[in-house]
């Protein structure tokens, strides 16, 4: 990354973490129409053609199931090492015009 990037803030982010693969855990209670099964047999949050989790409310840029979101999402720390890494990768791909595709 070149010039200093703005500090991470979920209110100003493109929901980059909500484009990552979210593997569901047995204790997660997700409406069936929001989940999918990978070729490897993992149950995950379903994603749309652009890679966004289908639970993203695009109008409000918020998780539409925030209070019952998966454990993986609950553990994702804003401004944590993984957040910073995926934001940097996203910014780099956008700068080079490469569509984000994580699986």
What is the contact surface with ligand SF4 in residues (CB under 6 A)? Answer: 18, 22, 45, 53, 55-56, 63, 65, 69-70, 73
| Closer residue to ligand SF4 (CB): 18 or 87 | 18
| Closer residue to ligand SF4 (CB): 21 or 84 | 21
Q: Would you say 48 and 54 are in contact if contact means Cβ atoms under 8 Å apart?
A: yes
Buried b (16+ CB within 10 A) or exposed e, 41-79: eebbbbbeeeebbbbbeeeeeebebeeebbebbeebeee
Residue 49 CB, nearest approach to ligand SF4 (Å)? 16
| Closer residue to ligand SF4 (CB): 60 or 96 | 60
């Amino acid at each position: 990354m070149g010039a200093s990037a703005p500090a991470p803030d979920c209110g100003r982010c493109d929901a980059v973490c909500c484009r990552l693969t979210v593997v569901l855990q047995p204790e997660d209670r997700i409406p069936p129409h929001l989940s999918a099964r990978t070729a490897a047999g993992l149950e995950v949050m379903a994603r749309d053609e652009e890679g966004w989790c289908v639970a993203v409310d695009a109008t409000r840029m918020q998780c539409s199931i925030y209070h019952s979101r998966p454990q993986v999402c609950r553990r994702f720390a804003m401004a944590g090492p993984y957040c910073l890494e995926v934001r940097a990768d996203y910014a780099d791909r956008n700068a080079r015009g490469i569509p984000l595709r994580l699986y």
